């Protein structure tokens, strides 16, 4: 039981390049989330998904797209990376309805640098 | 507004002493208040949470108190140990989840 698995762990991109961050959970959770973490800013929600095929914007969605491919997988895509998107990205999942009173389980994070 | 104000941003305590971190919020619709611990380079992990119908919850050396009238909730760590050194985040939930900016806790030997 691996919990929440994110790939890659590290990535360096040039401005304008695109890439997809992958996330998978094996806990049969309904809800999944993508956050970014910047120094002194805490965790900010980018997008979340309440179930397969549904996604909703969080606090900072601009510049990102997501896909809930199936119940296990939730990917985050940067179509044209910008230096302001340099951050640590965390995927999380939780039981029950999205944003409900259930604890979130986080992956190990992806450290993304945009040059 | 929507933010959660977390204080202090940095806290140093002597090993064995207690540590208290406080968060305040303004949205009275908030009904779930989790606390996460994040060690350097690691993922955030839930350490304790409290729901709005409860005033206090305790789990061994960790406790959380909630004052809904005053709109603040606090994390209390007693008998601190070196492994308590980490960044701690509070959060609140109504129709969204908002995290505080974190408190870096240093346990001094």
- pLDDT tens digits for range A6-21: 999 999 999 999 999 9
Q: Closest residue of B to A89, CA-based? A: B43
Contact B96 A58 (CB under 8 A): yes
pLDDT, average across residues B36-47: 94
Say yes or no: B63 contacts chain A, CB-CB below 8 A.
Answer: no
Write down the pLDDT at residue B89.
96
Is B86 within 8 Å of B38 (Cβ atoms)?
Answer: yes
pLDDT, average across residues B33-58: 93
Report chain A residues whose CB lies below 8 A from the CB of B42: 108
By Cβ distance, the residue of A42, A59, A107 closest to B102 is: A42
Is A6 within 8 Å of A75 (Cβ atoms)?
Answer: no
Q: In chain B, positions 20-39, which contact chain A (CB-CB < 8 Å)?
A: 31-32, 34
pLDDT for B96 beyond 80: no
The two three-digit tokens of residue B48, written as one number:
């304790």
Write down the pLDDT at residue B2.
64
Give B2's strand partners: none
Say yes or no: B58 contacts chain A, CB-CB below 8 A.
Answer: no
Closest to B107 in 3D by CA, of B87, B93, B91? B87
Confidence category of residue B88, pLDDT binned at 50, 70, 90: very high
Chain A residues touching chain B at CB-CB below 8 Å: 40-45, 58-59, 90, 99-101, 103-109
Q: For residue A13, which phi and psi values (nearest 5 degrees)?
A: -125, 160
Is B66 within 8 Å of B52 (Cβ atoms)?
Answer: yes
Contact B98 A101 (CB under 8 A): no
Contact A108 B42 (CB under 8 A): yes
Q: For residue B83, which phi and psi values (nearest 5 degrees)?
A: -70, -5
Say yes or no: B47 contacts chain A, CB-CB below 8 A.
Answer: no
Look over chain B and give the mean of its residue pLDDT values, rounded to a whole number: 93
| DSSP of B12-56 | EEETTS-EEEEEE---TT--EEEEEEE-TTS--EEEEEEETT-SE
Write down the pLDDT at residue A2.
79
pLDDT for B80 beyond 90: yes
By Cβ distance, the residue of A40, A45, A90 closest to B43 is: A90
- The residues, ordered by sequence, that sit 6+ positions from A63 with a Cβ below 8 Å of its Cβ are A78, A79, A80, A82, A84, A85
Instruction: State the residue for tokens 């960790």.
Output: B62
User: Residues in chain A, how many?
Assistant: 115
- The residues, ordered by sequence, that sit 6+ positions from B69 with a Cβ below 8 Å of its Cβ are none
CA dist A105 and A39 (Å) reads 21
The two three-digit tokens of residue B94, written as one number:
């109504």
pLDDT for B1 beyond 60: no
Mean pLDDT for back-to-back runs of 10 residues, chain A (115 residues): 91 96 95 92 92 91 95 96 97 82 91 96
Say yes or no: B74 contacts chain A, CB-CB below 8 A.
Answer: no
pLDDT, average across residues B70-83: 96
Q: For residue A84, which phi and psi values (nearest 5 degrees)?
A: -65, -10
- pLDDT tens digits for range B3-39: 899 999 999 999 999 999 999 998 888 889 999 999 9
pLDDT for B45 beyond 70: yes
Give A22's strand partners: A7
């Amino acid at each position: 039981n691996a919990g929440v698995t994110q790939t890659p762990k590290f990535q360096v991109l040039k401005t304008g390049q695109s890439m997809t961050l992958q996330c998978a959970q094996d806990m049969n959770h309904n809800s999944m989330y993508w956050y970014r973490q910047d120094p002194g800013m805490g965790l900010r929600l980018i997008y979340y998904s309440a179930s397969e095929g549904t996604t909703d914007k969080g606090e900072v969605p601009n510049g990102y797209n997501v896909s809930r491919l199936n119940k296990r997988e939730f990917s985050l895509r940067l179509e044209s990376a910008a230096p302001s998107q340099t951050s640590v990205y965390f995927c999380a999942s939780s039981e029950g309805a999205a944003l409900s009173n259930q604890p979130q389980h986080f992956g190990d994070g992806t450290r993304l640098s945009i040059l | 507004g929507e933010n959660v104000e977390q204080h202090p941003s940095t806290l140093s305590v002597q090993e064995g002493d207690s540590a208290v971190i406080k968060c305040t919020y303004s949205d009275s619709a908030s009904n779930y208040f989790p606390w996460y611990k994040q060690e350097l380079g690691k993922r955030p992990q839930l350490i304790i949470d409290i729901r709005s119908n409860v005033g206090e919850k305790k789990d061994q050396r960790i406790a959380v108190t909630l004052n809904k009238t005053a709109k603040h909730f606090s994390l209390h760590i007693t008998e601190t140990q070196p492994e308590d050194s980490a960044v701690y985040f509070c959060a609140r939930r109504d129709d969204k989840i908002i995290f505080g900016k974190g408190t870096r806790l240093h346990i001094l030997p």
